[in-house]
Structure 1
Amino acid sequence: MMSLPSSIDVAVIGAGAAGLGAAHALKRAGRSFLVLEARDRVGGRGHTIMASSDVTFDLGCGWLHSADQNAFVKIADRLDFEIDRKLPPWRERAYGKSFPPEQRAEFFRAIDAFFDRIEQAAKGGVDYPANLYLEPGNRWNPMIDAISSYINGCETDRLSILDVDAYQDTNINWRVRRGYGALMAAYGAPLPIAFNCAVTLIDHSDKRLRIETSQGTLTADKVIVTVPTNLIAQGAIRFSPALPEKVDAAANLPLGLADKVMIALDDAQDLPTDGNLRGATMRTEMGTYHLRPFGQPCIEGFFGGRFAQALEDAGDGAMATHAIDEIVSFLGNDFRRKLKPLKESRWAHDPFARGSYSHALPGHAGKRAVLAAPVDGRLFFAGEATSPNFFSTAHGAHDSGERAAREVMAALFQ
């Protein structure tokens, strides 16, 4: 544990992707700064663990979305992290009889038409909940809601159509073989970071900013705040004088929930590498399962939205129990003996995240710009929720950190 200085030029709050992007930009510019991180590690919602001796598991972000525009691809190349460029196990790459090809084709037509209707509606510039654009009575609506819970962390009734329309994705999705979280940890290794240092108050009433932390108080000329929106909305970090517009923006950009569970698999050769298993197509409360990621002897389950919250609230092991039961229902009772719980994420119960990634509530897509706006040339804001087009992603967070660092440097020369 490093001792805090009494005074610094720039404080970066949070060592997730946004904080790391900001810190590296400040470092390249030769600026003096310190990153204040509440956890005992780098990465925030990017965290790689070894679920077992032969299974690498990204508890948080795992895909290099829009990889042709993703800053972490070049970072991975520079740090000698292998990039896996195989197609992801989505869309047509499903496995098993529980979701046959003719049903998949019908589902893809339904979900593509749903997003086409949203795109057309968004051209009018008026915001509505996305669930209004589900086709009434369509048998695939529950599954479309499930997909929304994976993509957005919430079901369609809590989703702004203008926010959906603003999101940009080049549909090139790669992975980091050693883990996205491991890449972030390596990226953050050379930076000055005070760990176990939770910020509770930023007092901007005087010429210099006073920052209260779990390790003491320090002052700074500028602060870049990169913490998740739920922490701002729920008052984990307070501002004095209060910043009601920021709190309101954060509250209307809440973190949805996407959780993962890793299941060990005996006789792994019985299932294809990088396949996808899904079959509970008549309900929203369903998991989707990535078979043998990177060829590992495991199945990675994924849950989102209200169902993920219910599984978290049910306690440790509930997610794994449900996943195993569901997998067995697809593949047969003989598979139960081959499956064993390893690890699961619980992002809603993580005190420094309180969720997974942001979505704009209906009517509030414009709050991303409100949250991103600097205050008095001294307080700056970054994080995936402030990204106008790449929100909910690690690279969107990283780029927002670089943007905030540029704002800091511009303010220093005024």
Structure 2
Amino acid sequence: MAISDVDVAIIGGGAAGIAAARRLRDAGLRCLIVEARSRLGGRAFTAADPSGFAIDLGCGWLHSADRNPWSDIAKAQSYVIDKTPPPWARQSLTFGFSAAEQRDYRKASHGFYQRLGRAEQHSDRPASALLEPGNRWNDLIVAVNTFVAGAELPDVSAHDLARYDDSGVDWRVTDGYGTLVTSYAADIPVAFSTPVHRIDHSGLRIRIETATGVVSADQAIIAVPTSILSDDKFFKPALPEKAEAALSLPLGLDDKLFLSLDHAEEFEKDSRMFGRIDRTGTGAYHFRPFGRPHIECYFGGTLAHELETNGEAAFFDFASSELAGLLGNDFAKRITPIRVHRWGVDPFARGSYSYARPGQADQREVLARPVNDRLFFAGEACSRGDYSTAHGAYLTGVAAAEQVLAIRR
């Protein structure tokens, strides 16, 4: 017996699913978000520190903010947007990384991205092939790109990385990106704590089989991570093309640790440093985001996997060691862990955001393609140029909703 009978079921209540549901709801369709978690937002997840400050454990930046639809939504809902330039747009703190070294690094990084811009003139290959052999800064370039892709450059398609479309305008929402995304779902029906086991599209109506019963729908929009779609038992009949595309677009891993910082005023607001500049396994440390007494620590790729394996305490131990190495042993007494979220072991994410394996960049279009005008797909992994972002997810969610509306007219 169906627990719900709707026009359109949306599987996944992240940015893509919420955007799709809002468009369909505004068009007058009966829709339902079927969400495995007890909350909305997916990989947009805002928590609070002990003082009540919002901390984004998932996506945190309105990337390409001048064309990001979430910017307009934030303004319409009267959220405060902080337009302070991001720390990566300015010189880093010079502890362990002199101004001269930073200039040299930026020159090497600029050369890498220039070569990347020409990548599609040649057959696809690992993005690491575009590094200058023997360049002193290759390890740091790779480290920084783990923050972009969640994986090391040898595993990442040069074509896919070259297609990433960034306007260079980056803002933040004071109350949290996750707060913004979830608030956009106001008045949309949601089935919480309802993991989907299988989507049966063999009959006249689609049956979404869940832990609590069946949702019946004419169409379904699937807005879940590729880590879920790669399971060839997720659909009945199976959709091997989708499973293959998902496997070609795995989720990389990036995790954040927030620290409280005593006597934070010693550091410039929104300043940054790297833990090490001579290895790929290092953290990036953002001091006083929004002027708050925090350090936002960022770990990507293989390093993030290793830290997750060793538990939450490993993140603090690693950050404390790197920061003490730069700022002196007494600095460790000034920091206290607030919170970390391990996205790799999160059962409903299993990673942070997608990257394409070498030779697989075109699988994003395959993943986004509808099936029999009944199953539609959305999510950051479906975006050619805005993957890994909440606005990429939003745009694919709206696109999927428009496809549904077009076939129902």
Q: TM-score range by the shorter chain?
A: over 0.9
- CA distance in 2 between counterparts of 1:179 and 1:279 reads 26
SS of 1:212's partner is strand
For 2:84, the equivalent position in structure 1 comes to: 86
For 1:72, the equivalent position in structure 2 comes to: 70
* The one of 168, 171, 174 aligned to 1:174: 171
* The one of 259, 262, 275 aligned to 2:258: 262
Report the residue type matching 1:92 in the other structure: R
Do the aligned partners of 2:274 and 2:285 also contact (CA within 8 Å) in 1? Answer: yes
User: Does 2:208 match 1:203?
Assistant: no
Report the residue type matching 2:374 in the other structure: R
- Count matched residues: 409
SS of 1:68's partner is coil
- CA distance in 2 between counterparts of 1:250 and 1:287 reads 28
Query: Map of 1:217-232 to 2, 5 A cutoff?
Result: 217-232=214-229
Detail structure 1 runs of 4+ shifted over 3 Å in the superposition. Answer: 3-6
For 2:181, the equivalent position in structure 1 comes to: 184
- CA distance in 1 between counterparts of 2:320 and 2:50 reads 18
* The one of 302, 315, 319 aligned to 2:315: 319
What is the CA-CA distance between 1:242 and the residue it aligns to? 0.5
Structure 2 unmatched runs, 5+: none
For 2:125, the equivalent position in structure 1 comes to: 128
For 1:385, the equivalent position in structure 2 comes to: 381
What is the CA-CA distance between 1:90 and the residue it aligns to? 0.6
- CA distance in 2 between counterparts of 1:288 and 1:338 reads 18
Segment of structure 1 superposing worse, 333-342 or 247-256: 333-342
What is the CA-CA distance between 1:56 and the residue it aligns to? 2.3
- CA distance in 1 between counterparts of 2:368 and 2:307 reads 33
Query: Map of 1:9-158 to 2, 5 A cutoff?
Result: 9-124=7-122, 126-158=123-155
Query: TM-score w.r.t. structure 2 length?
Result: 0.98
* The one of 380, 388, 399 aligned to 1:403: 399
Do the aligned partners of 1:358 and 1:391 also contact (CA within 8 Å) in 2? Answer: yes
Do the aligned partners of 1:37 and 1:196 also contact (CA within 8 Å) in 2? Answer: yes
Same amino acid, percent of matched pairs: 46
Do the aligned partners of 2:126 and 2:155 also contact (CA within 8 Å) in 1? Answer: yes
What is the CA-CA distance between 1:299 and the residue it aligns to? 0.5
Deviations 1:80-116 (A, max 9, x none): 1100011001143311331111111111111111111
User: Does 2:368 match 1:372?
Assistant: yes
Change (3 A) 1:408 1:222: same
Do the aligned partners of 1:199 and 1:212 also contact (CA within 8 Å) in 2? Answer: yes
Do the aligned partners of 2:370 and 2:377 also contact (CA within 8 Å) in 1? Answer: yes
Do the aligned partners of 2:201 and 2:207 also contact (CA within 8 Å) in 1? Answer: yes
For 1:361, the equivalent position in structure 2 comes to: 357
What is the CA-CA distance between 1:55 and the residue it aligns to? 3.6
Deviations 1:336-356 (A, max 9, x none): 211111111200000000000
Do the aligned partners of 1:55 and 1:297 also contact (CA within 8 Å) in 2? Answer: no
Report the residue type matching 2:47 in the other structure: I
Structure 1 unmatched runs, 5+: none
Do the aligned partners of 2:83 and 2:170 also contact (CA within 8 Å) in 1? Answer: yes
Do the aligned partners of 2:275 and 2:285 also contact (CA within 8 Å) in 1? Answer: no
- CA distance in 1 between counterparts of 2:272 and 2:320 reads 15
- Aligned-residue CA RMSD in angstroms? 1.3
Change (3 A) 1:330 1:91: farther
Report the residue type matching 1:132 in the other structure: A
* The one of 157, 162, 170 aligned to 1:160: 157
What is the CA-CA distance between 1:174 and the residue it aligns to? 0.2
Deviations 1:376-409 (A, max 9, x none): 0000000000011101000000110000000001
What is the CA-CA distance between 1:4 and the residue it aligns to? 6.7
What is the CA-CA distance between 1:66 and the residue it aligns to? 0.2
